[in-house]
Structures are given as structure tokens and as C-alpha cells.
Chains A and B, each alone.
Chain A
Amino acid sequence: MASLELRNVVKRYKSQTVLDNLSLSVADGETLVLFGPSGAGKTVLLRLVAGVIDPDEGKILIGGEDMTDLDAEFRGVGMAFQNFALFPHMTAFDNIATPLQAKRSSQSAMKSGVESVAKLLKIGHVLSHKPRALSNGQKQRTALARALVGSPPVLLLDDPLRNVDAKLRFEMRLELPRLLADRGATVVYVTQDYKEAMALGDRIAVMSQGVIKQLGTPQQIYREPANIEIARLFGDPTINLLDVKPSRDAKGIYVGLSNVQVHLTGAYDATVGRDCVIGLRPEALRFVDEGTPAAIPVTVEAETPLNEKIVTLVRTVRGREILVSRPAGTPGQTEGRAHIAVDGKSALLFDQASGDRIGASNVVNLRSGEAA
């Protein structure tokens, strides 16, 4: 087993810097999710680790050993590609067997190795098929099996669920954590789906424009996002963001929402009079009866049931739209006038100009990547 470390890695394509002085370390056996929009440099990072492209600067260490100048075949990593990258002229069996072939395993070892991993991924019955005869789900599992079969200490999974249907994606999202934990491998998992990131990651690294914007556990990312962008990327329905200017009274710092003073808990002293954005998770809002202290009057615009929860779009008297989410089956206003209350403890405050979260005292140290 092996830890993984990137030190000050820089990768440029022509004049464009794809990875900008990026450092990251993944502990032995940890699953790190790289999350970010396309073009953030996630795939490039994975390829650098795999050794199929070379960094312009910096070092890549696997198990403490410098692998920067080592060719891909000597690094001992397993990788599953987003587009599967199966060998079209080989059967699924031969596809999966390629890492074992490279190790010059015996025929019987190869057969048992392939068959056990195929059984695990439920593709035992299609091993004799060529890739074109496989469904997308089977292709994806074949690609995954090929990455797993040699029991590599480091597994790189490049958005493996991107090209499979929703049902399979859901199933795999449940299966993968157990599968990866059983292997004990160090995993770097790339995804653009925040639910996948939350479900699979021991830690999540949020990437954007070639740098890691935030690194932390799924809970940290969700509860204490480093900036507005990250707050918006995590959570469905998305976080409510409203422009506010905090003020102070005898009870502490408050923001005015529809002429109602909502008091905030937190070290927000420096924000008084500054242009800020308040972030309110839809599930942190709830419908209350009229007359409740700090209740904000709203009108219900629309209601969308989303299976396990109900999302309501409401409009404040000043015309701002807010999403409220509540578990299905709980009472709530479905039309007309209503009142909502804000949980001051879970509210997030961002600086309007920079987009950074204010009072983020526990923001992880990004440069060294030594968090958690």
C-alpha cells in the first residue's frame, strides 16, 4: 500500500497553466475525491500521477518514492478512464487480464484473478464478449475490473460513472465505497457530481482553474465552504444567496431580511457595514406560524416534490426568491402567504467582493495540503 504526494506540481499547455503550483497528499488507504467543473485540471492531475503525461515542474511521490521521471508502466497504479478506454480488439477477459499479463502471471493465476474480480463486479457472464457487444454499464465495470485486478496500491478513477445511466450510477455509488475499502488501496476519484463526491470521499479536494480551492471532509465542505462558488456547487437544491449588509445592535450582529432582523451567531464583528452575501441552505429554513420572532413574510410561488423532500420556491416582500426544503411528509405551506424562519447558526456569510467566506477560522491550509 502506498501514500501519494504531489509537490508544487505545475503543468502548462502552451501559454495556458493547467495546474498551478499544486500540492496535495493522500494518505495510505484514503479515498480522495477531486471535485470541480470541467477544465479545472482534475483529469490532468490524474494523468500526471499515472505517468502518461509529465509535469513541467514539481514532484510526484508514490509510497514516498519519487516517481516523477518514471514511465507509466513502472508506477504500479490502476486507472479507470471516463471513456472506459477498453481495447476494442480484445475480449472483456483479455481486457481485464492485461495488468496480469504485464506481470507475467501464469495462465491459471490470470484466470482466477480475472474471474474473481469479474464476479465481484458481476460481469462474469460477459467475459468472452468484445467491448462492442457490451452495454455501457458492462463496459464501465470491465474498465473498473481492469483497474482493480492487479491490486494496485494506488487507484485512479477518472469519473467512471459519468457515462453510465442513472440507475447504474446510483447502484455503483452504493457499491464503490465498500469495494474500495475492501481493497485498501489509496484512491483518487475524479467526479463532477457532488453527491458522488460526498458519498465516496474520505476527503474532497475542490478544484477550480488549476488550483485546489478547498480541501476537507465532505462535512467540512458542505458546512464550511471556503467561498460562494463551492457553496453553490454542493447541495441540491442550491444554497440561497442574498445580498446583505450586517449591522450591530444590543443582541449582536444581525442582517436585515425583508425588514426582519436575523441575528447571526459567529465571529462576524468585522463585517458590520460591509457588503456581504448570506448563504442559507434550503434545509436550514423552515416554515413557521405568523408571530414567531424573526419570522419573514413570504408568498409561496411553487412547490416541487423531490421524493424524499419537498422544495418550495417562495418570494419575499422585496421580491427576492428563496428555496425552502423540508422532508417529505412534514407539514408546510403550499400556497399563498407564509412565514419562514432562518437558523442563524447555520447561516453562512460571504464577502461580496471576494466571494470568500467570512469567519472561516478553520479554513484548511491549502498550500501545504496537510489538512485533516
Chain B
Amino acid sequence: MEHTSLLERILRGMALTLVVIFFMFPIVWILMMSFQTNETILRIPPQLVFKPTLANYTALITGKLTTAAGTLDIAFMRNLWNSVFLSVTSVAVALLLGVPAAYAFARHKFRGSEDIAFTLLSFRFAPALLVLLPLTLYFQKLGLANTYIGLIWVYQLICLPLILWIVRGYFEDIPADIEYAYRIAGHSWFATFRKIALPLAGPGIAAAGLLAFIFAWNNFVFALVLASADKQPVTVGALAFITSSGIQYGQISAAIVLSITPTLALALYAQRYLVEGLSLGAVKG
């Protein structure tokens, strides 16, 4: 370890604390808001001490939103389920298609391979709104509008390029000799893909999958246009909290807490796989 003076350590600690406060404050504030009623939230000046209430969470889970204007049905749990279903399925499909494709792009330089890979990446350049109008028209003709299949398909625009490009890099990082050695030992290319390439690119695939999941989970505009109430994910469903009798900050906060929980849990769980080294000393170090 390098030698640091006491002053340096104190300053460093302060700087780190500032950074953590800066980044964590919104999340902590949202967490606090989710246990408050709208009245206490909107009090000026805001107060750190309050009487916590679970009313917001009960309202979300039971689906009954009580406002000054009366009781309102909200489909938050349904939205949450939609989010989980859409994101998981989209990532699963994208992995199924993207990982073999990434391997092909990484290992086989065929005619036009770079062009195809770049075209796939370019899907992410176009503003979503630009694609959406023609897509909506097509989907209505094809009967795909407002279906899970249609949404998962569109979500591939988000997930597939991401997985393809990240995983491709990981495949390229595996020394070709390791795969050659397995082939020479007498195994088919498919066995080599399954037993050598996939396990070694594992951390990369996990990282790409996680990232794609987060992007899919956070997507708003595709679902807003292409899905009606019963297919909407939480991002769109949150609009329901802007009611005629005002914005329900308490419920929105509770909804946010509930909807970031799955991604947060997944990220924390996957973290140890993500930091694991790729090559693990296969080739001389």
C-alpha cells in the first residue's frame, strides 16, 4: 500500500462521503417519501422526521387508490408483472439469438460480417420515436399491436444489439488457441462453443444480459405507444398516478421503490460474476 498522511485520508474520506451523498440522496429521499402521505411530502419546509405509513404500499398492492376525488383503480401489480415478463422474455430471446450471432461475428470473418454487425448496432442510433410511427402501422396490420409478442419483438431493438456487441468482445478476448486445442482434441465446433466459448465468456454474457435487462426494464416509449393498459410495464403504468386530484407523490415513490427492487437485486447478485476474471490464467500470464 502507498503511504498516505492522516490529512490525505480525512480529505479522501470527505470527498467519498460527498460523492455517496450526492448519488444516494435521491434514492433515500424517494424511500422516505414512499412512507409518507401526500400532505407530509408537500409540507414546506420539508421535514426529516415524520410518522411512517404503509398506506402507499397497501394502495399499490390492493390496486385501490384513494384520492380526494374518490377511489381509483390502478393496475400497478399487473404493470409490475408485465415489466418482469417483458424484460425477462426479451433478454432471454436476445441471449438465445445474440450469443450465437456474437460468436459467429467474433470467430468467423465472412463477407459483409462487419456491415451486418454495424447495421445491428445502428438500430440503437435511431431515435425511438422515428421508428415508432411506421412500426405502429405495421403492427396494426400484422395484428401485433398490443400483444406481448409484438412488444418482445420491438424490445429486441434494445436488447439484441447490446448483447451482440458486448458478448462479441468477450468472445474475441478468448484466445483462439484454446478453442483450437479443443477442436484438435477431437471435439466438434458446436461442442467447442458449448464447453469452451460459453463458459469462458460467461461473465461477459451475464454482464450483457444484465445491462439489456435494465434497458428493457427502463424502456418507456415503445410500451407507451404499442401497448394498452393490460400490457403496460411499470414505466408507463406510473402515469396513472397523475390523477385529476393531483400528483400522488407517495404512491409514485412507493411504485419506484418496488420497481427498482428487482433490477437492484439482480445487479447485486450478478456483481460477483461480473468482476470475475475472464481468462483465469489459461495462457501464460
The 8 Å CB contact of B184, one of A72, A88, A89, A163, is A72
Other 14 A-B pairs with CB < 8 A, given A50-B180, A88-B281: A51-B183, A52-B183, A71-B183, A79-B181, A81-B180, A81-B181, A83-B284, A84-B283, A88-B280, A98-B185, A98-B187, A99-B186, A101-B185, A131-B282
Q: Does B177 contact A (CB under 8 A)?
A: yes
A47 / chain B contacts, CB cutoff of 8 Å:
180
The 8 Å CB contact of A89, one of B188, B200, B283, is B200
Please determine whether A102 and B284 come into contact, CB atoms closer than 8 angstroms.
Answer: no
Given A84-B284, A132-B280, A52 contacting B180 (CB threshold 8 A): yes
- In chain B, positions 185-211 with a C-beta closer than 8 Å to chain A are 185-189, 196, 199-200
Please determine whether A163 and B280 come into contact, CB atoms closer than 8 angstroms.
Answer: no
The 8 Å CB contact of A83, one of B175, B183, B188, B189, is B175
Number of interface residues of B (CB under 8 A): 22
Chain B: minimal CB distance from A234 (Å): 27
Given A50-B184, A73-B188, A130-B280, A81 contacting B177 (CB threshold 8 A): yes
Please determine whether B282 and A73 come into contact, CB atoms closer than 8 angstroms.
Answer: no
Please determine whether B183 and A85 come into contact, CB atoms closer than 8 angstroms.
Answer: no
Among B183, B186, B200, B281, the one with the most A-chain Cβ atoms within 10 Å of its Cβ is B186
Among B180, B182, B184, B283, the one with the most A-chain Cβ atoms within 10 Å of its Cβ is B184
The 8 Å CB contact of A51, one of B184, B185, B282, B284, is B184
Please determine whether A85 and B175 come into contact, CB atoms closer than 8 angstroms.
Answer: yes
A99 / chain B contacts, CB cutoff of 8 Å:
185-186
B187 / chain A contacts, CB cutoff of 8 Å:
73, 98, 101-102
Number of interface residues of A (CB under 8 A): 34
The 8 Å CB contact of A131, one of B180, B184, B186, B281, is B281
Please determine whether B284 and A73 come into contact, CB atoms closer than 8 angstroms.
Answer: no
- In chain A, positions 79-99 with a C-beta closer than 8 Å to chain B are 79, 81, 83-89, 98-99
Q: Does B279 contact A (CB under 8 A)?
A: yes
Q: Does A103 contact B (CB under 8 A)?
A: yes
7 A–B contacts from the bound complex (CB under 8 Å): A52-B180, A83-B177, A84-B283, A85-B175, A98-B186, A132-B281, A150-B185
A130 / chain B contacts, CB cutoff of 8 Å:
280-281
The 8 Å CB contact of A85, one of B177, B186, B199, B280, is B177
